Structure 1
Amino acid sequence: MGTQIRDTGDRDHRIAQLRARMAAVAGVPSREDGLNVGLSLPVPRRAVTTMGDCPALVVECISQVTQSGGYVGVVGWPDLCVAAIERMEQLVLVPDPGSDPLGVTSVLVEGLDLVVCHSRVPLTLSPVRARPLLGRLRKGKAALVLVGLDVASPALRIDAHISEIRGIERGRGRIDALDIDVRMRTRDGRPARETLTIGRAREHLRAV
């Protein structure tokens, strides 16, 4: 399964664990502008994307990155179901980042390809609070996705919800696939909308 970094109560020890994990997976930083997560628009590297709380889409994005050989970190989301992801060894999971989730996230963005930082309570980060994290982000290669957190002028906003559950009939059946309605908007206002089907009835992304 994925590497789990647990809260030991010692912040320095936890940061040391994270840095050791980064050293084990870090390669030559890519200078690509975008990271393919299976959507029509890539999520930008070295920049912030905000995403609505749609766990199915997050897991699909993680799976797309790991299948392509990338490494992913997830901070502050202990109940995110990642069991279906095939390459669990490419995950760094920090379900309980303690009192400093942004500090933990800032370490992960130094060496991973995708980092997801989740907050149970909706929160907008002030420029002062976000500045150290953004500074680390620009020096690395990661695409940072915030769920439940917001910043001023993110590079990309993604809103998503499950629009259809396939396979369920009246009184019988089981879920075969999910249709997820995805809406995106870049910082310069360029919109995109598509439907992503996940599961056995999987289809290509459909623009609408």
Structure 2
Amino acid sequence: MKVIVREDAVGEVRRLRAQLERVQGRRMDAAVLPVHSALADILPGGGLRAGAAYTVAPSASLLLSLMARPSQEGSWCAAVGMPELGAEAAAGLGVALERLVLVPEPGARWLGVVATLAEVMPVVAVRPTGTVSDAEASRFMARLRDRGATLIVQGVWPQAEAALQVTGARWSGLGEGHGYLSSREVTVSVQSRRSPVPRRARMLLPDPMGALSAVPAALAEEQLPVHRPLRAVG
């Protein structure tokens, strides 16, 4: 049976869809912190949404890269529970050190420390030293939304907006038994609650200058590996 769809009906659907996307875009633009363009291409909404949590595994470099643009553009950032995190590495990845607060050893009450910092800091990153229940996460996320802060977790977090994962690392710079490691090419995958299909991109993390940069699209398409879908985000 042949189905005939009226052109005016199709046009109305397209008009409503475009209107919805514009409204959603305005809402997202008003509450999204900028990130490096290579990350913006694969993150839902093109940046870090205020009041949301993101998980990163297992790369501290990727975590710092997410904080770079917000700190450069005036947002204060905090990193909790990461004693090995170095100021030099953070600066190399673009983090503005004058707007970075480090809390290396928060102790057993790390979640309270993070909650306190989220009251005054737009971006707070943490490596949890214990598990967080769904109830605790719900209370924390309500507080995060109220303050308009963003949480980046190196590890597991219930109700995360998106999960970022680094895979397929390949170092460059070494010759046959000599030379120095100059850059690392990786695949960054993002699985979000808004889209069941992961988005992936090849990046240099770090690039020869110690920062994050995108792999040219032509090369990325040739080298991009196929991954199984990541575990569903809480």
TM bucket (normalised to shorter chain) is: 0.7 to 0.9
Structure 1, gaps ≥5 residues long = 1-29
Letter in 1 for 2:164: I
Bigger RCO (CA 8 Å, 6+ sep):
1
Aligned-residue offset at 1:149:
2.6
- Choose which of 91, 107, 112 in structure 1 pairs with 2:116: 107
Question: CA offsets, 1:97-154, max 9 Å, x none?
Answer: 1111111111122222221110356x4x222222332122011222211112321x32
Gaps spanning 5+ residues in structure 2: where?
1-27, 222-234
State the TM-score, normalized to the length of structure 2.
Answer: 0.67
State the Cα distance separating 1:199 from its structure 2 match: 2.2
Q: Which has the larger radius of gyration?
A: 2
Offset at residue 31 of structure 1 (A): 7.5
* CA deviation map 1:62-119 (0-9, x unaligned): 2333223322111111112331333211111111111111111111222222211103
Q: Per the alignment, do residues 69 and 180 of structure 1 end up closer, same or farther by CA in structure 2, a change over 3 Å counting?
A: farther
The structure 2 residue matched to 1:134, chosen from 135, 141, 146, is: 141
Structure 1 residue identity aligned to 2:32? G
Map 1:18-33 to 2 at 5 A: 32-33=30-31
Kept in 2: contact 1:157–1:184 (CA 8 A): yes
**Which structure features the higher share of strand residues?**
1
The corresponding residue for 2:15 is none
Q: How big is the shift at 1:196?
A: 1.7
Query: 2:202 is matched by which residue type in structure 1?
Result: T
1:163-182 alignment runs, 5 A limit: 163-182=169-188
Q: What is the CA–CA distance in structure 2 between the aligned matches of 1:120 and 1:166, rounded to whole Å?
A: 34
| Residue 80 of structure 2, aligned match among 75, 79, 84 | 75
Aligned to 1:148: 155
Q: 1:199 aligns with which of 203, 207, 211?
A: 207
Task: Answer yes or no: is the 8 Å Cα contact 1:54–1:161 preserved in 2.
Answer: no
| Counterpart AA for 2:88 | A
Using the TM superposition, name which of 93-102 and 172-181 deviates more: 172-181
| Structure 1 runs, 4 residues or longer, greater than 6 Å off | none
Query: What count of residue pairs does the alignment treat as equivalent?
Result: 176
Given residue 142 of structure 1, which amino acid in structure 2 is its aligned partner? A
C-alpha spacing 1:101/1:203, structure 2 compared with 1 (3 Å): closer
Q: Is the 8 A contact 1:59 1:81 kept in 2?
A: no
TM-score (norm 1): 0.74
* Distance in 1 (alpha carbons) for counterparts of 2:150 and 2:104: 19
Identical amino acids, percent of aligned pairs: 25
1:71 and 1:159 map into 2 onto residues whose CA distance is 24
Question: Is the Cα–Cα contact under 8 Å of residues 116 and 145 in structure 1 kept in the other structure?
Answer: yes
Report what 1:84 is aligned to: 89
The alpha-carbon deviation at position 162 of structure 1 amounts to 5.6
2:16: which partner in 1?
A: none
For 2:98 and 2:108, locate their aligned partners in 1 and report how far apart those are by CA, in whole Å. Answer: 26
